[in-house]
Structure 1
Amino acid sequence: MPEDYAADHPLFGGAISSTFPLRFQDVSNIRQVPDHQEVFVDPARDESLIFELLDLKLDVADTGSATWFLQDLATEQEAEGTMAISKGRQGREAQNIVRVYLANLRLKEVGTDVLITAYEPVVINPLSETASTVGAGLAVPAIQSGCMPMSEVFKLALSSFKVNDWSLFGAA
């Protein structure tokens, strides 16, 4: 089966599922991931896909919630304009320029904000630990590598997102 073949992935012990390419590996097999997150990465492209369950932000309006979360993420990353992100414990001098896709699904009946975030590298910093595997400079577009573009991966993951077991949220 080709690694870009899209398959249904169980999330949070199967309570949720989403469809995205097999080239994305479960990060929890490599390092510890917080219980409220499911993190997948394509190490060959340094692309990542994150599913996160957060307490519902009651003070954030529905119409602006995704924008609010994106601004919160940008503030957390100290981003100015385009998002510049360092890997792990690397400093600002090793930041990569990435394109960020973010969606917020508001599950008000169970008091949860679901964030689906995808990161696609645009420029890999030569000082980044990623440069040794992906290569420094402009990132090669996914389509040129025979991969599904990250924008399509994100749309597929979002459109196929499904809650299979509401008890995950403490609902009866």
Structure 2
Amino acid sequence: MPGDECSERLLFGGAISSAFPMRFQDLSSIREVPDHQEVFADSSRDESLFFELLDLKNDVSDSESAIWFLQDLANEQDAKGSLVIEQSGSLQPADLMFKDLPAVITTVVGRMAVSKGRQGREAQNVVRVYLANLRLKAVGTDVLIIAYEPILINALSETSLTVGAGLAVPAAQSELLPVSEVFKFAIVSFKVNDWNLFGVVDHTP
């Protein structure tokens, strides 16, 4: 969409990069973000984008990993009972590999009811959640890329004060890139610039 082009952003001190719209601002300048996460948000639309590095879950199968992480996320956010899986898929890119071992990427899209911060269930918003799991097995790491898109804002939610209550306005109506496309761009543009981030030494020229 015009005016909402994706730009390369440096993550984790430049060791990783990914491209997404500049309207997603780095939240580390506003609040504390854990070292294993990078969090960006367009607060005017309550849309957000997370990058997270986790130890590889060896007991979770590749084909089920994205769904497993989404269910785990729903449980963490007390939204497990409201989780609906809309679709899932997988791909294996040739250009994201270390020591000839390519990444395996699975994706899932779900819908759940979540509340902001410490607000209770009576203030839950309905959101669409896009989750990709990039399995970097050569370095024992599960990378999560998670995007949140509001569907329905609860009038009791603190979000309603900035975004407004009711059905969320589709991004396309505001000439903005839909979260589904932001999510895809973030995945296909994902690059590891320095494998030393994972505690390994890359001797490739």
State the TM bucket, normalised to the shorter chain. Answer: over 0.9
Distance across 2 between alignment mates of 1:78 and 1:130: 18
1:84-108 C-alpha deviation (Å, 9 max, x unpaired): 1111121111111000000000001
Match of 1:61 in 2: 61
> What is the one-letter code of the residue matched to 2:123?
A
* Deviant stretches of 4+, over 3 Å: none
> How far apart are the structure 1 equivalents of 2:137 and 2:164?
43
Cα distance in structure 1, aligned partners of 2:75 and 2:120: 16
Greater alpha carbon shift after TM alignment, 62-71 vs 85-94: 85-94
Q: Say if 1:3 and 1:23, in contact at 8 Å, map to a contact too.
A: no
Aligned counterpart, 2:70: 70
> Is the contact made by 1:3 and 1:21 (CA closer than 8 Å) also made in structure 2?
no
> Is residue 2:179 matched to residue 1:131?
no
Equivalent residue for 1:14? Answer: 14
1:41 aligns to what?
Answer: 41
Deviation at 1:78, TM superposition (A): 2.4
After superposition, the C-alpha distances for 1:69-89 in whole angstroms (9 at most, x for unaligned) are 111112222222341111112
TM-score normalised according to structure 2 size = 0.81
**Which among 159, 170, 189 is matched to residue 160 of structure 1?**
189
Q: What SS does the aligned partner of 1:115 have?
A: strand
Percent of aligned positions with the same letter in both sequences? 73
Question: In structure 1, how many angstroms separate the alpha carbons of the residues matched to 2:168 and 2:151?
Answer: 5
Structure 2 residue identity aligned to 1:33: V
Distance 1:126 1:4 in 2: 29
Q: Distance in 2 between matches of 1:116 and 1:3?
A: 24
User: Aligned pair 1:87/2:112, yes or no?
Assistant: no
CA drift at 1:6: 1.3
- Cα distance in structure 2, aligned partners of 1:19 and 1:89: 31
| 1:37 CA drift (Å) | 0.3
Count of aligned residue pairs for this structure pair: 171
CA contact (8 A) 1:96 1:124 kept: yes
Deviates more, 1:119-128 or 1:72-81: 72-81
Provide the alpha-carbon RMSD of the alignment.
1.1
Q: Which residue of 2 aligns with 1:50?
A: 50
Per mean C-alpha deviation after superposition, the further-off stretch among 17-26 and 3-12 is 3-12
Check whether the contact 1:55–1:112 (CA below 8 A) recurs between aligned residues.
yes
For normalisation by structure 1, the TM-score amounts to: 0.96
Pair 62,166 (structure 1): closer, same or farther in 2 beyond 3 Å: same
Corresponding residue for residue 26 of structure 1: 26
Q: Partners in 2 of 1:84 and 1:63 — Cα distance?
A: 25
* Structure index of larger Rg: 2
Q: Is there any run of 5+ residues in structure 1 with no aligned partner, and where? A: none
| SS, match of residue 32 in structure 2 | coil
